[in-house]
Amino acid sequence: MTLKENDKAPDFSLKNQDGKTVSLKDLEGKQVVLYFYPKDLTPGCTTEACDFNANLAAIRKKGAVVLGVSFDDEKKHLQFIKKHGLEFDLLVDNAKETAKKYGVYQLKKFMGKEYMGIVRTTFVIGHDGKIRKIFPQVQVDGHVGEVLAAL
């Protein structure tokens, strides 16, 4: 299944870094910036998370919340948050179900090897639960500015 803009965003219920369940349906009425990233504490993922964090006030001013999703566990997410002072939730998708629902669990190639993993992608979900904007295969530099423009 390939999601498109204006499709209803698939619901999810995932644990955050504190073990608390976060569901899309619980955020109804808010805009959600849902970004999928490969791995905590890696260069590109750190840059992306820190950019979102640095622009969090502007994002919140537009009535949006930011949620990061990767396959890392709660402990690794908490370490990432503490190390970089992140002020938004990171969600654990260790069963890969949400990544599959959103179509971001794909075949990747790195240094001549093929493997399945998260393709860095951001979804802007509107107040009505519909996908307003999809940023596939995100290039980290300048990405948060694009997201802000889409809110």
Q: Which residue has the tokens 């955050």?
A: 16
DSSP-derived secondary structure for 42-82: SHHHHHHHHHHHHTHHHHHHTTEEEEEEES--HHHHHHHHH
Burial class (CB in 10 A: 0-12, 13-18, 19+), 148: middle
Q: What would the two tokens of residue 51 be?
A: 């950019």
Contact 52, 113 (CB under 8 A): no
DSSP-derived secondary structure for 11-27: P-EEEETTS-EEEGGGG
Is residue 50 annotated as a catalytic residue, yes or no? no
Active-site hit among 45, 59, 78, 91 = 45
Catalytic residue positions, numbered: 45
